[in-house]
């Protein structure tokens, strides 16, 4: 059900108090007005500075007085919708809260509704049971195309430059995930600079998108230059990813393939799980969004759930994309013992439902170091396409990892290093520990005004105590879990052999 249909049903069902979190006031109010008029209802819009504005006879009513704004509702006969801008700022006031409760009782029997329009959800405990929250979606590709074509036609009509279908489609794709107001602003900037819209303006839109995502403080637009060839070992995982490289294309849709759902990478720290998430994004040419699950949780009632829905809405608006959830085990482990009134369970439930039912091309890559602490519901088939175990690299894989890092730091002198010896002398080392050993060897060479050598790397490695020794029991538990067949091995060879 889209927003218009949902709002229409909610108004007809006589929900007395409705809360719509959105920064797009103009767009939301246009939809509310359209739906209300289709039901034969008047619309009254109030804000703190100007009071009510819709009807000339009532202009200024309730100006700078939110309680009078609610008392005004009593004066209007049946068949009206009242939109209160930024009214979340006043909900903590005892008089406002009491008046809203009284109105909730009264409006149940009348065809009238009060809609609070705010930029975010901020509902105190005392009113949480009285409000119904409706999520307003970001503009879809069809709306974006209409807006961009209108702007392009009005600005490019006097120029020789006319945007073709491909250029329009590129601008629309780049604009997904932005509000119409932001899109208008960034296109106005492009027009002010060049007196017209150009295909190159995609870069301006992408920069605006990065700023927008940063401002949510939930998702991070993560630049990715990591290639699959930068990952040493993990042949099974690489093959799985390469086979799905074209799964987001139109050709795959015509073939009947569904969009890939996601991947759970479980295993030992420092073995390349996060690196793999970045490589997937780069190889599939998809934007990479990093989710910090801890940022979803907030103090106010309903805000954590609202942030989760906002994250989902933004990820779907930016699709096709890769959503990277790092260390998901730290966010959702031990939920039953948390004293947060069930907030974690509700956030987890919302996330699980979306994972199971999503049809949008959002590929979720979740990483976990301690798979045994994750709720079993997350591991059920249908949430992810596959669960891979990423263990410690064996000798052949360590050779590949040394080659990757030495090629990065000494691309013109890689043959000067005895890679086979290095791999043999570093049993139980993870990829991250191998890289740290090389960096430490570089410090040794730099301090002596010479290039670092194989012996320097071995000396540095001898000073590193690998995680396989400091967390031996935890790693053994993980390896036994993987050996039981509960996950697919990321490496083609037996990862439990040195």
- Judge whether 3-133 and 395-427+431-465 match in fold: no
Give the model's pLDDT for residue 495: 46
- CA-nearest of 125, 91, 102 to 16 is 102
Give the span between the Cα atoms of 417 and 406, in whole angstroms.
8
At 157 the pLDDT is 63
b (16+ CB within 10 A) / e for 351-387: bbebbeebeebbbbbbbbbbbeebbeebbeeebbbbb
State the pLDDT at residue 339. 52
Pairing of strands 288-291, 80-85: unpaired
| Domain 3-133 CATH assignment equals 1.10.8.870 | no
Q: Residue 268 and residue 390: Cα distance in Å, rounded?
A: 7
Q: Which fold has domain 395-427+431-465?
A: Helicase, Ruva Protein; domain 3 (1.10.8)
What are the domain boundaries of the chain?
A: 3-133, 141-216, 244-390, 395-427+431-465
Query: For residues 439 and 445, what is the distance between their CA atoms, to the nearest angstrom?
Result: 10
Query: For position 302, what pLDDT does the model report?
Result: 61
CA nearest neighbour of 93 among 116, 67, 68: 67
C-alpha span between 236 and 486 (Å, rounded): 16
CB 267 within 8 A of CB 369: yes
Candidates 3.40.50.300, 2.40.70.10, 1.10.10.10, 3.40.190.10; correct CATH number of 244-390? 3.40.50.300
d(CA 495, CA 492) in angstroms, rounded, equals 8
φ, ψ of residue 448 in degrees (nearest 5): -110, 15
The pLDDT, as a whole number, for residue 156 is 65
Which residues are bridge partners to 17 per DSSP? 114, 131
User: What's the pTM value of the predicted model, to 2 decimals?
Assistant: 0.72
Give me the pLDDT at residue 468, please: 85
Residue pair 322/363 in contact by the 8 Å Cβ criterion: yes
Per-residue pLDDT 10s for the chain (498 aa) are: 689 999 999 999 999 999 999 889 999 999 999 999 999 999 999 999 999 987 777 788 889 999 999 999 988 877 899 999 999 999 999 999 999 999 999 998 888 999 999 988 889 989 989 999 998 988 888 888 899 988 888 876 655 557 788 888 888 888 888 888 889 999 898 888 888 888 888 888 888 877 877 777 788 888 777 888 888 888 999 899 988 888 887 788 889 988 889 999 988 888 888 889 888 988 888 888 998 887 777 655 567 777 888 888 888 878 888 999 988 887 776 655 555 557 778 888 888 888 888 888 899 999 988 877 788 888 877 788 999 989 889 999 999 999 999 999 999 988 999 999 999 999 989 999 999 999 999 999 999 999 999 999 999 999 999 888 888 888 888 888 888 877 888 987 654 544
């Amino acid at each position: 059900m889209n927003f218009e249909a949902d709002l229409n049903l909610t108004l007809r069902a006589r929900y007395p108090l409705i809360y719509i979190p959105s920064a797009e006031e103009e767009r939301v109010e246009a939809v509310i007005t359209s739906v209300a008029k289709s039901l034969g209802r008047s619309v009254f819009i109030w804000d703190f500075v100007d009071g009510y504005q819709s009807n000339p006879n009532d202009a200024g009513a309730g100006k700078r007085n939110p309680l009078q704004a609610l008392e005004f509702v009593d004066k209007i006969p049946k068949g009206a919708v009242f939109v209160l801008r930024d009214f979340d700022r006043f909900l903590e006031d005892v008089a406002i809260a009491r008046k809203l409760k009284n109105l909730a009782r009264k409006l149940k029997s009348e065809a009238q509704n009060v809609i609070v329009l705010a930029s975010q959800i901020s509902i105190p405990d005392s009113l949480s049971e009285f409000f119904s929250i409706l999520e307003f979606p970001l503009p879809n590709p069809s709306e974006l195309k209409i807006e961009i074509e209108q702007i392009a036609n009005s600005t490019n009509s006097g120029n020789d430059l006319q945007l073709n279908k491909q250029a329009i489609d590129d601008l629309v794709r780049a604009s997904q995930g932005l509000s119409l107001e932001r899109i208008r602003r960034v296109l106005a900037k492009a027009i002010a600079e060049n007196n017209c819209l150009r295909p190159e303006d995609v870069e301006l839109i992408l920069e605006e998108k990065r700023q927008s995502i940063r401002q949510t403080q939930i998702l991070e637009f993560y630049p990715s230059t990591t290639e699959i060839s930068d990952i040493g070992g993990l042949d099974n995982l690489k093959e799985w990813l390469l086979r799905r490289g074209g799964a987001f294309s139109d050709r795959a849709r015509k073939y009947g393939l569904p969009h890939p759902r996601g991947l759970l990478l479980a295993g030992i720290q420092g073995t390349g799980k996060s690196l793999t998430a970045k490589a997937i994004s780069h190889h599939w040419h998809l934007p990479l969004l990093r989710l910090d699950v801890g940022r979803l949780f907030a103090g106010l009632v309903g805000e954590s759930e609202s942030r989760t829905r906002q994250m989902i809405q933004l990820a779907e608006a930016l699709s096709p994309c890769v959503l990277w959830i790092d260390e998901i085990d730290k966010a959702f482990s031990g939920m039953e013992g948390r004293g947060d009134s069930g907030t974690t369970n509700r956030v987890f439930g919302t996330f699980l439902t979306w994972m199971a039912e999503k049809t949008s091309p959002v590929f979720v890559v979740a990483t976990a170091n301690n798979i045994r602490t994750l709720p079993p519901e997350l591991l059920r088939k249908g949430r992810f396409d596959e669960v891979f175990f990423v263990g410690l690299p064996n000798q052949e894989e360590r050779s590949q990892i040394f080659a990757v890092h030495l090629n990065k730091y000494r691309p013109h002198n890689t043959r000067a290093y005895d890679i086979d010896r290095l791999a043999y002398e570093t049993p139980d080392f993870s990829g991250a520990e191998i890289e740290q050993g090389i960096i430490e060897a570089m410090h040794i060479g730099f301090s002596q005004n010479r290039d670092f050598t194989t012996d320097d790397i071995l000396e540095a490695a001898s000073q590193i105590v690998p995680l396989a020794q400091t967390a031996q029991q935890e790693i053994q538990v993980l390896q036994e879990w993987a050996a039981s067949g509960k996950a697919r091995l990321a490496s083609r060879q037996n990862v439990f052999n040195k």
